[in-house]
Amino acid sequence: MDWSQDYVVHDDLFTTEEIKENWQSCRKADWIHGWYSSDGHKEDESSPPFWHVHLGGSDTERTDCTVMLPTWVQSVWSKLNDHNKGMKLLRVYLNGHTAGQPGGIHVDGWTPDQYTFIYYANPDMKPEDAGELILWTPNLNEEQRMISFDTPYAMQLHPEILRTVWPRAGRVLMFDARIPHVARGLNSNSKKLRVSLVFKATKI
């Protein structure tokens, strides 16, 4: 299977009322500023820091963290997992980006059977706000080309955009964690905080 095409968008999993309730929970979270997309971006300061909330789990312990999550987050994950049976939830967090706070291009995993789910929490995003997430072909560097031998991009030197996903209210994006991606900052005129609820999971 060509895992570079393993991504899907859902727009019908949450009601308007659920989106509003989830947004209120996001606003009440204990936000901290100073997060980066990866340790590499923090070290070389290639992208600015953004807002973040750790909600549960770990990238290293590899144990299911569902029971440790706030109730509202468990409810969101329950809906997502209904569409993707057999997933073990490893880590959950909130990211927040404002104007001038893009993320850095990165991958969330290097091996098969790892997936990232992103729930877009803002109820009032408009196209002019920007803040899209971009999925890239897995050939941005030599390390990525080495693991993409079973995709069309292992021998290609020129990266391309696979898909751009706009943060529509209640939208969910699921993708193979090996796909490079980046959250772009908001338009310079936007006063919003673009919030995404991120779940990292692996197939059992």
- Could you write out the three-class secondary structure of the chain? CCHHHCEEEECCCCCHHHHHHHHHHHHCCCCEEEECCCHHHHHHCCCCCEEEEEEEECCCCCCCCHHHCCHHHHHHHHHHHHCCCCEEEEEEEEEEECECCCCCCECCCCCCCEEEEEEECCCCCCHHHECCEEEECCCCCHHHHHHCCCCCCCCCCCCCEEEEECCCCCCEEEEECCCCEEECCECCCCCCCEEEEEEEEEEC
Q: What token pair was written down for 108?
A: 């969330």
Tell me what pLDDT residue 72 has: 98
Residue type, 67: V
Q: Are 26 and 94 in contact (CB under 8 A)?
A: yes
**Backbone dihedral angles phi then psi of residue 118, each to the nearest 5 degrees:** -125, 125
Q: What is the DSSP letter of 185?
A: P
Tell me what pLDDT residue 82 has: 80
What domains appear along the chain, each with residue ranges and CATH number?
3-203 (2.60.120.620)
Tell me what pLDDT residue 175 has: 97
Tell me what pLDDT residue 148 has: 94
Please count the residues of the chain: 204
Tell me what pLDDT residue 37 has: 86
Q: Would you give per-residue pLDDT tens digits along the chain (204 residues)?
A: 799 999 999 999 999 999 999 999 999 999 999 988 887 777 777 678 899 999 999 988 889 999 999 999 999 999 998 876 789 999 999 999 999 888 899 999 999 999 999 999 999 999 999 999 999 999 999 999 999 999 999 888 899 999 999 999 999 999 999 999 999 999 999 999 999 999 999 998
Tell me what pLDDT residue 59 has: 84
Tell me what pLDDT residue 110 has: 93
